[in-house]
Amino acid sequence: MEEYIAFDSHKRYTWVEHEQVATGEVKQYRLNHAPGAIRQALAGSAPGTPVAIEATGNWYWIIDEIEQAQLEPRLVHPRKAKLMMGQINKTDKLDAHGMNRLQRNGTLPTVWIPPGALRELRELTRTRMVLAAQRTRWKNRITATLAKWGLPPSEHSDAYGKKARAEMEEKLERLPEQTRWATRQMLTQLDVLQMQIAEFERRLEELVEETPEMQRLKTLPGVGVILAATIALEIGDVGRFLSAERLASYAGTTPRVHASGDRVRYGRTRPDVNRYLKWAFSEAANSVAVNHVRCAGRHVSELYARLRRRKGHATAVGAVARHLAEAAFHMLSRQQDYRDPAAVVGRTSEV
């Protein structure tokens, strides 16, 4: 290896630093973004040279061009890198030089780079998640608008289903003219979102039918087509996790621990986790909570019921989410379906 290369990338340009291994000579320059610009700038570097780049929002195409130039991209954990650099000031030059210094001493904090095909498939589950969040916001706004005029929410299980929508039409007629018009516009937007989400779900169903890992994950309690696809695509290669506990931590299902002397306190989960995985396991855990009475014999139902009595709903859901995350690791590592611990001879339901 002849040199270290570091990129401090922004929306329109990348600040580049080349540091020679033998002499320590440093060369820095600004590289404006354009198709092929990264590849051309690296054309003179030896194949296999490591290139450090922070995991910012626009790293997909930069990673592709680094690989096309036959160099080795290293995706850097931004928060950990900043702490390890120990710099008070922050500039493009300092950031690029700091990453090269970490490369030189072998302490660069890197994260896994998903293959291009996997990054492409993730757009389906992640975009569907964004659309679902927008749908929830519109529903909440419509419900709040009706409440302002003394119109209670529907008693139907689905407040925006076919039967409830027919009932809502009667309520709309009781609203003032401008409020009624605005509410109808919101309902139209809600219908469009529902159609888009349905299209995403049909596409995901086709994908799940072709993927053994997703089929296997569907055997987890509370996990259906959408959650199975989300979990599989966000985990990617399960071999990158050394243990089930590591995967559970990456998925944001383990609390912070503050231990000093004889006192141990558990806090909230860390913010720097995979929020898509956290959402998926939390959704599955909430499904378990809703159905824990109907499926009382399952391990997850007993776990939820026991902890809810002692520590409340939120903590119980968190414990179930962690169990599901750790179970997903074992299932994917061993290539086997979920086995309920409560049904295994010689095992108890205790965790």
185-207 pLDDT per residue, tens? 999 999 999 999 999 999 988 88
The residue among 92, 122, 110, 103 whose CA lies nearest residue 20 is 103
Q: How many CB atoms lie within 10 A of CB 127?
A: 13
**Position 349 pLDDT exceeds 60:** no
At 270, the pLDDT band (50, 70, 90 cuts) reads confident
Residue 70 and residue 118 in contact, taking contact as beta carbons nearer than 8 Å? no
Of residues 284, 125, 283, 115, the one with CA closest to residue 204: 125
pLDDT at position 343: 67
**pLDDT at residue 326 greater than cutoff 50:** yes
Domain boundary assignment for the chain: 3-104, 116-210, 214-343
**Mean pLDDT (whole number) for 143-152:** 90
- Determine what percent of the chain is predicted with pLDDT higher than 90: 72
Q: What confidence category does residue 88 fall into, taking pLDDT thresholds of 50, 70 and 90? A: confident
Inform me whether the pLDDT recorded for 40 exceeds 50.
Answer: yes
Residues with Cβ within 8 Å of 197's Cβ and at least 6 positions away in sequence, in order, are: 128, 131, 132, 135
Contact 203, 193 (CB under 8 A): no
Q: How many CB atoms lie within 10 A of CB 322?
A: 24
pLDDT tens by residue, 272-317: 789 999 999 999 999 999 999 998 889 999 999 999 999 999 999 9
Distance of CA 12 to the CA centre of its chain: 26
Q: Which residue pairs from 121-124 have beta carbons closer than 8 angstroms and sit at least 24 positions apart in sequence? A: 121/207, 121/233, 122/233, 122/234, 122/276, 124/200, 124/203, 124/204, 124/207, 124/229, 124/233
3-104: CATH, from 2.60.40.10, 3.40.50.300, 3.30.420.40, 3.40.640.10: 3.30.420.40
* Greatest alpha-carbon span in the chain: 80
pLDDT band of 350, cuts 50, 70, 90: very low
* pLDDT band for position 159 (cuts 50, 70, 90): confident
- Lay out the sheet containing 3-9: strands in order across: 26-32, 13-20, 3-9, 50-54, 72-76
Q: Over range 214-228, report the average pLDDT.
A: 93
What does the pLDDT read at residue 207?
82
Is there a contact between 280 and 217 (Cβ–Cβ < 8 Å)?
A: no
d(CA 208, CA 271): 29
Summarize pLDDT for 49-85 with one digit per residue, the tens.
999 999 887 899 999 999 999 999 999 998 899 999 9
Give the confidence band of 100 by pLDDT, cuts at 50, 70, 90: very high
> pLDDT band at 89, cuts 50/70/90?
confident
Tokens of 276: 């898509």
Other beta carbons within 10 angstroms of residue 347's beta carbon come to 12
Query: For residue 240, is pLDDT > 90?
Result: yes
Instruction: Specify the amino acid at residue 50.
Output: P
* pTM value surpassing 0.75: yes
Mean pLDDT of all residues belonging to the chain: 90
